[in-house]
Amino acid sequence: MSSANQSNIPVIAIDGPTASGKGTVAQLVAQRLGYHYLDSGALYRLVGLASFQRGISTAVEADLIPIAQNLNVNFQGDRIFLEGQDVSDQIRQEVMGQRASEVAVHPGVRQALVARQQAFRQSPGLVADGRDMASVIFTDAQTKVFLTATAEARAERRYKQLIAKGFSANIDVLLQDLRERDARDANRSNSPLKAVEGAHHLDTTSMTIEEAVNQVLKWHQAD
């Protein structure tokens, strides 16, 4: 599809810090509208996992770029396959979240994933969540949302998610990790996490998921 045709396809770009609930909200908004869904963070987690499997450090950009360029990944519903193996649960582990944040600081890795993310823009529309969806990947998105919550609320949500999946977790460690990742994401020189001009701000600290979804849908109808 030509880029001119693609630019007519509506995009809802939802950015925000880790564990803010943006993935859940984005998925539900996509379902309600019948749009495609892009979890851009999963791509960085996949680079983190693939490099881990090969014993490659997250510090060496030159070794990570070919991995990002050649990721053999397949999204099937809510399952994610790497090299034909279902890694959906594996990439959600905290250690992979850390590695994702570490590989994402490298400009070459981010550049390698740009075209791959933009290819998700297909009719009738796309809901994309991440750190730089509105600022870099879909700068012409019809609706831009910056979704956040307090670090404490996000740590508690992540804690409950992990416990529900049978993982062990320590809320104090999670809170510390979240703060470190927030700092790394906000302060990196390439595509830092920030709200773009014209973005709707949504603080979900004391909101239900349903309330957050309805608010995004309301903004999208008005934009």
In a domain, 137, yes or no: yes
Domain count, the chain: 1
Instruction: Tell me the residue ranges of DSSP E strands in 109-203.
Output: 126-130, 143-148, 200-203
Going by pLDDT thresholds of 50, 70 and 90, the confidence category of residue 93 is confident
Distance of alpha carbon 68 from alpha carbon 182, whole angstroms: 22
Q: How many whole angstroms from its chain centre is CA 111?
A: 16
In a domain, 21, yes or no: yes
pTM: 0.88
Across residues 117-143, what is the average pLDDT? 95
Going by pLDDT thresholds of 50, 70 and 90, the confidence category of residue 75 is confident
pLDDT, tens only, 138-196: 999 999 999 999 999 999 999 998 899 888 899 999 999 999 989 988 888 888 888 99
In a domain, 199, yes or no: yes
Cα–Cα nearest to 17, from 184, 159, 138, 193: 193
In a domain, 38, yes or no: yes
In a domain, 26, yes or no: yes
Distance of alpha carbon 17 from alpha carbon 12, whole angstroms: 17
For residue 98, what is the domain's CATH number? 3.40.50.300
Give whole-number Cα distances, 185 to 43, 57, 60, 65, 75, in Å.
16, 19, 18, 19, 25
Looking at residue 16, its pLDDT comes to 94
| DSSP tag of 82 | E
Is the per-residue pLDDT at 214 higher than 80? yes
User: Six-digit token pair at 125?
Assistant: 């529309």
Going by pLDDT thresholds of 50, 70 and 90, the confidence category of residue 3 is low
In a domain, 223, yes or no: no
In a domain, 135, yes or no: yes
Across residues 79-93, what is the average pLDDT? 93
User: Six-digit token pair at 43?
Assistant: 């791509």
Domain range for 43 is 10-214
Looking at residue 143, its pLDDT comes to 98
In a domain, 1, yes or no: no
